[in-house]
Structure 1
Amino acid sequence: MTGTVSAPPTRDAAPESAGAGTLVRDPGRLRRGLGWLLVVVLVIVVAGAGLLLTVPSSAQRETYDPELPGPEGTKALAEILRQQGVTVDVVRSRDAAEKRLDDRTTLVMSDPYPLSDSAAQRLVDRAHDVVLITASARMLRILGLGGYSSAVSPSRAEPGCRVGAFAHVGPIAPGQLFLPDPGVTACFGDAAEGAAVLMSDDGGQRRAIVDGSGLFTNAHLAENGNAALGLALLGAQPHVVWYVPSLADSDRTDADPKKSLADLTPGWVTPAIVLLMVAALLAAAWRGRRFGPLVAETLPVTVRASETMLGRARLTAKAADAAHAADALRAGTNARLAKRLGLAARADPASVADAAADRIRIDRAACRALLTGPLPSTDAELVPFARDLTDLETAVEDAVRIERSTRD
């Protein structure tokens, strides 16, 4: 067997003689210089990455964004609505959303968490239809639809309600379930356990909520009847105003959307983190082991089978695992009996037990109980079990030997 070992580090010997004016390079010094340069580069890279992580990206968008083509976006659903003749306007300001809402418009939004209750209520009141595509206890209260259900969501749910728009919607795999208030229609579930979609219709104005995390995002829209459900909920009116809430549009007085994580962090935190990283890198360079070049060396190793057997036996005895030891003993007995009885090497233990019982003319049930029955769980039961295995193997060996002697 061939392995690799590390040769001890050696000092670079200087030449025995050098002429006057000859420049002699020290390879060891060059390697140390490159090492320190690498440490400095790593510190700069780590510090730069930390600064980038603390600065929020202006291009970063929220989940369920209808202009986001990634897995968490909903651009695919917005494009399907446009293909069906529905005008989809994406707005990121509540003022712009209020100006575009009329009696032929559906307001679609995720939970408007940056808005106060009054701002969210005003936005909902101006819309003819409202579809909330994320779960929110506050919006459930504002829309007057119901509350959360603690029931486990089924893997498959049919519409199960008398809503004409859902007549051609296939089954879905719902996420969060909701319990409806009186007068609210529950679809894709039931009112007792919980439903995936809650919908109310007050004078032609429709309010609906659904957990769209596993239904309407680009990653899941093509599954089951998700696309049909999206069209049924969002495409009832010819115009959709898709409001994307953000902290910059907040009307809360207790929130400052201009402050980032870097603004809220004390000034000494960043220098302290950089200093700790530099100290850690220096400690690693100082105390780290310096290996020499790898040298290939032939390493003949011979491990006897008896040593392996004894090592495993000691481990089993130390673990006090009588069942594992009994299983190993029985597996060896089955293999030897199969070979002695002329059976296949992988013959099942029941066949080996029947063949052994027939050969030595004992009860098959007793032989099967020994070779296929429950294993002993204690050392006290293991000893007689091992003795019975040995006796069975000896009896079969004697029977086979007598038969051969008789034939000869």
Structure 2
Amino acid sequence: MAPVRSRRRGALGWAALAVGLLLVALVGGTLVYGGYAQRAALDPESAGSDGARAVVRVLEQQGVRVIVARDRPAAERALADGEATLAMRDAPMLSDDALRDLTDRARDVVLLEPRTRALDVLLNGSGLGGFADDEAVAADCSLPAAANAGSARVGELMTPGEGVTSCFPVDGEFGLLTVETTGRTITALDALATLTNATLPRDGNAALALAVLGQSDTLVWYLPSPADADRAADVPTLSELTPPWVTPGILLLIVAALIAAIWRGRRFGPLVRERLPVTVRANETTEGRARLYAVARDAPHALDELRRATRGRLERLLGLSARSDPGRIADAVAARLGADRARVHGILIDDQPRTDRDLVAAADRLRDLEASVRAAVRTEGTTR
């Protein structure tokens, strides 16, 4: 009976392994498919924070017909009458000639995510610059669409080419470029900072979006597809560059490795009951680390840990982006409290304790600073 039980346990073990691998494959496939099924950023049918459904709905309420083209042939069909505005993300798969051919079919063109090549080809040698801070920038130009908006969040900046009108200047670079040629306009702006569902309500972003995208009765929103590439300009794939025997050889090695793993794998035996490790409470771990710092007399290291935790909480209180620079957090705290910038920098970054008494005093200052920020944020929220 013992050999029968052993074989039965072995069979059950292999069955459990097969079921586990099948579950892992199903879960992995679901995650991969779900990742591809999600709408990309600036998708006009996406309600996510990076989507653009909000601006499409507003345009439709203003009488603009929005056509979503998810490949190049669909975009060309929608632009057949030559009276529509074309809005498009960067299309690296299109050659320069294909890019010119597609944009020539539209009355007006809006580059939503311009890259250097598209700017060079379509806007007379313009190029990319740096990035603007997350704050409103004045239009400072006579272009009606920008002037009516007044100010906007512009994100990525650009440098204009010859004959290109530029708006929203930041340190010699600009957030919007436009050029008029043969009776039509080509405009470029960072739509991720201006047109998404999350950024549209800020400052004059909505007015700028409606003015730029609503230039005609029909808007064709083109989302480039990898299938739109010009086949003649395709770079050879890895499979095309390798000899024909490489792929079968790799598959044979994989099969051999699996057979070797099964051959040398350990047999499944009965489960062995073991005592679990002792569970240690979080506060005991914290106290243990504190004692280690105290024994080592490492007050600066202990204060750095306190500062790191305090800055993380201040980040969330002030609505700053994750992993912000400590200096930027300190500047934001000083601006919110109206406090001396150098003193706030000293509390959050610069001051170094020499004794345990200095460490306790620094910890008290961190606690008081955080409490002041919480009170200021709470008071501001109540006032609003």
TM-score bucket of the superposed structures, by smaller chain:
0.5 to 0.7
> Alignment partner for residue 43 of structure 1, among 21, 29, 36?
21
User: CA deviation digits over 1:13-45, x for unaligned, max 9?
Assistant: xxxxxxxxxx99x99987765443321112223
| SS of equivalent residue, structure 1 residue 81 | helix
> Alignment partner for residue 206 of structure 1, among 173, 182, 185?
185
Q: Distance in 2 between matches of 1:203 and 1:179?
A: 22
Q: Distance in 1 between matches of 2:29 and 2:353?
A: 63
* Structure 2 residue identity aligned to 1:111: D
> Hey, what does 2:130 align to over in structure 1?
150
Deviation (angstroms), 1:68: 3.5
User: CA deviation digits over 1:195-241, x for unaligned, max 9?
Assistant: 21111233542110111123323343334433322111100111212
Q: Distance in 2 between matches of 1:173 and 1:288?
A: 64
Listed as ranges, the matches of 1:201-240 within 5 Å are: 201-202=180-181, 204-240=183-219
Contact 1:92 1:249 in 2 (8 A): no
Deviation (angstroms), 1:120: 0.7
Structure number with bigger Rg: 1
| SS of equivalent residue, structure 2 residue 149 | coil
Contact 1:159 1:169 in 2 (8 A): yes
> Alignment partner for residue 106 of structure 2, among 127, 133, 138?
127
> Alignment partner for residue 154 of structure 2, among 174, 181, 184?
174
Contact 2:95 2:233 in 1 (8 A): no
Q: Distance in 2 between matches of 1:279 and 1:69?
A: 50
Moved more, 93-102 or 108-117: 93-102
Q: Distance in 2 between matches of 1:288 and 1:209?
A: 66
> Hey, what does 2:247 align to over in structure 1?
266
Q: Distance in 2 between matches of 1:279 and 1:225?
A: 65
Listed as ranges, the matches of 1:200-349 within 5 Å are: 200-202=179-181, 204-255=183-234, 266=247, 291-292=272-273, 312=291, 319=296, 321=297
Distance change in 2, residues 1:232/1:47 (3 Å): same
Contact 2:127 2:159 in 1 (8 A): yes
Distance change in 2, residues 1:79/1:152 (3 Å): closer
Task: Say which structure, 1 or 2, has more relative contact order (CA 8 Å, 6+ apart).
Answer: 1
Contact 1:67 1:74 in 2 (8 A): yes
Q: Distance in 1 between matches of 2:271 and 2:263?
A: 14
Deviation (angstroms), 1:246: 0.9
> Hey, what does 1:365 align to over in structure 2?
none
User: CA deviation digits over 1:307-329, x for unaligned, max 9?
Assistant: x99x958x756x4x3768xx9xx
Q: Distance in 1 between matches of 2:255 and 2:155?
A: 43
Distance change in 2, residues 1:60/1:246 (3 Å): farther
Deviation (angstroms), 1:267: 5.1
> Hey, what does 1:88 align to over in structure 2?
66
Distance change in 2, residues 1:65/1:37 (3 Å): same
| SS of equivalent residue, structure 1 residue 177 | strand
Q: Distance in 1 between matches of 2:183 and 2:216?
A: 12
Aligned residues between the structures: 292
Gaps of 5+ in 1: 1-22, 298-307, 328-372, 378-408
> Hey, what does 1:334 align to over in structure 2?
none
Return the TM-score normalized by structure 2.
0.59
Contact 2:90 2:111 in 1 (8 A): yes
Deviation (angstroms), 1:118: 0.5
Deviation (angstroms), 1:87: 1.4
Return the TM-score normalized by structure 1.
0.56
Listed as ranges, the matches of 1:178-189 within 5 Å are: 178-189=158-169
Contact 1:47 1:274 in 2 (8 A): no
Q: Distance in 2 between matches of 1:275 and 1:46?
A: 22
